[in-house]
Amino acid sequence: MKRKVPTMIAVTTAAVLAMTACTQSTSTPEESSAPEETSSVGETTAAAPAPFDGEVSVAIVQQSGQGDYFQQYLNGTRQQAEALGMTLDVYDAQGDNATQATQLEQAIASGVDAIIVRHGLPDTLCTGVNDALEAGIAVIIYDVVIQECAPDAVQTQQSDALMASLVLDQMLADVGEGVDVGYVNVAGIAPLDRRDVVWNEYTAANGWNELFKTGSFTNSTATDTAPMVTSAVTSNPSVVAIYAPYDEFTKGTLSGLEQVAGTEDVLVYGADISTADIELMIADDSQWMATGATDPNAIGAAVVRTLALHMAGELDGMTVDFPPVLITRDMLLENGITNMEDLRSSIPELNISDVSSADWIPSVTF
């Protein structure tokens, strides 16, 4: 009998963490729910310029801190901030956009020197971002399309179009043209919208018949998405592959498929990577075939370095993109990869410690 992939354990854990997470945290990394990843801190060869020759305080205002990707991202943020001698306050809106806007104003009122805004909606964030800029606070954005309303904020993001195309090229190679497919995504989240553009291009170019689009972006995304996928595949038994371009969507998709007999051959394609994701991909008879990803720890650290360069007046331009890589189930199995440490050893491109670096910045390497 086919052994089912144990996605419900991860989903349940996520739900428990979501219920116990605090709205604002100023805890140390050891007290955080973010998994501590092995890292090293590079040596510097020059003295730090102002304002890093003194105390620098930073707040990160995140739309949600729940899920493997976001927890790893925060871990990288914390470690790079610590290496630069920054103090870091963490605000977590737990998926509530109005709360994130309020927390952004709270961060401004706290008198920090800089703010990292991570995910969220332009409509609820533009006012606060401009308030921060007008108050002389440096602002760096991750994965929010905000340049039009706040052009003085630094924009950072993954190369989402490339991430999607890498995975969809693999999906095309696996399932071919003219097949019935499913899609798990939501509108209104900047990186997911960028991946959606590529998805629509691929469905049109390859004659894929999108039988359903479903999914829920909440503070318990995997848990809430799973029954929606179960319903969708039950109503559309001819589907042969599903694209779920966020790992919490991917987990929910795997869990949803477990509830429907006869879906064991449906192939799943996702995004993002973590040790928990790797465990799901390499499990016996796993349906998760490929993912496009960066190392979230490395991204969190790189955003902090980008902010530091900006504050020191050394950043060239106002936009920084971080390149992804393709990770397949076959590659993981062939190389005996079971965790993020193994993955970084096998794919050194994930280490982006040279991105937004300088001789005075002690870059954190994972």
Q: Are the C-beta atoms of residues 95 and 64 closer than 8 Å to each other? A: yes
Question: What is residue 38's predicted lDDT score, i.e. its pLDDT?
Answer: 63
Q: What confidence tens digit (pLDDT) does each residue in 208-251 have? A: 999 999 999 998 999 999 999 999 999 999 999 999 999 999 99
Report the alpha-carbon distance of residue 318 to residue 155 in Å, rounded.
6
Residue 9 pLDDT > 70: no
Instruction: Classify residue 122 by burial, with Cβ atoms within 10 Å: 0-12, 13-18, 19+.
Output: middle
Mean pLDDT of the chain: 90
Confidence of residue 170 (pLDDT cuts 50, 70, 90): very high
Report the alpha-carbon distance of residue 360 to residue 49 in Å, rounded.
8
Residue 11 pLDDT > 60: no
Residue 253 pLDDT > 80: yes
Predicted TM-score (pTM) of this structure: 0.80
The CATH topology of domain 160-293 is: Rossmann fold (3.40.50)
Share of the chain above pLDDT 90, in %: 84
Rg (CA), the chain: 20
In one letter, which amino acid is 255?
S
Name the helix (H) or strand (E) containing 161.
helix 160-175
Q: Which residues of 308-338 are buried (b: 16+ CB within 10 A; e: fewer)?
A: bbbbbeebeeeebebebbbbbbeebeeeebe
Q: Which of 71, 114, 55 is nearest to 89 (CA)?
A: 114
Dmax (CA) of the chain = 64
| Tokens of residue 55, six digits | 């105390």
Report the alpha-carbon distance of residue 90 to residue 103 in Å, rounded.
10
Count of C-beta atoms within a 10 Å radius of residue 355: 19
Report the alpha-carbon distance of residue 363 to residue 366 in Å, rounded.
10
60 to 3, 92, 224, 324, 338: CA distances (angstroms): 41, 8, 26, 23, 31
Angle at 107 between CA 105 and CA 112, to 5 degrees: 135
Residue 138 pLDDT > 50: yes
- Beta strand 86-92 with 24-25 is antiparallel
Question: What is residue 175's predicted lDDT score, i.e. its pLDDT?
Answer: 98
Q: What confidence tens digit (pLDDT) does each residue in 179-211 have? A: 999 999 999 898 999 999 999 999 999 999 999
Give helix then strand counts, H and E, for the chain: 12, 15
Confidence of residue 66 (pLDDT cuts 50, 70, 90): confident
Q: What confidence tens digit (pLDDT) does each residue in 15-54 have? A: 333 333 333 343 333 334 445 666 899 999 999 999 999 9
Query: Which ranges in the chain are annotated with CATH 3.40.50.2300?
Result: 7-159+295-323+351-365, 160-293
Mean per-residue pLDDT, 304-309: 98
Question: What is residue 69's predicted lDDT score, i.e. its pLDDT?
Answer: 87
Is 159 strand, coil or helix?
coil
Q: Are the C-beta atoms of residues 61 and 115 closer than 8 Å to each other? A: yes
Top CATH class of 7-159+295-323+351-365 equals alpha beta
Q: What confidence tens digit (pLDDT) does each residue in 329-338 have? A: 999 999 999 9
Question: What is residue 33's predicted lDDT score, i.e. its pLDDT?
Answer: 46
Angle (deg, nearest 10), helices 275-282 and 7-20: 160
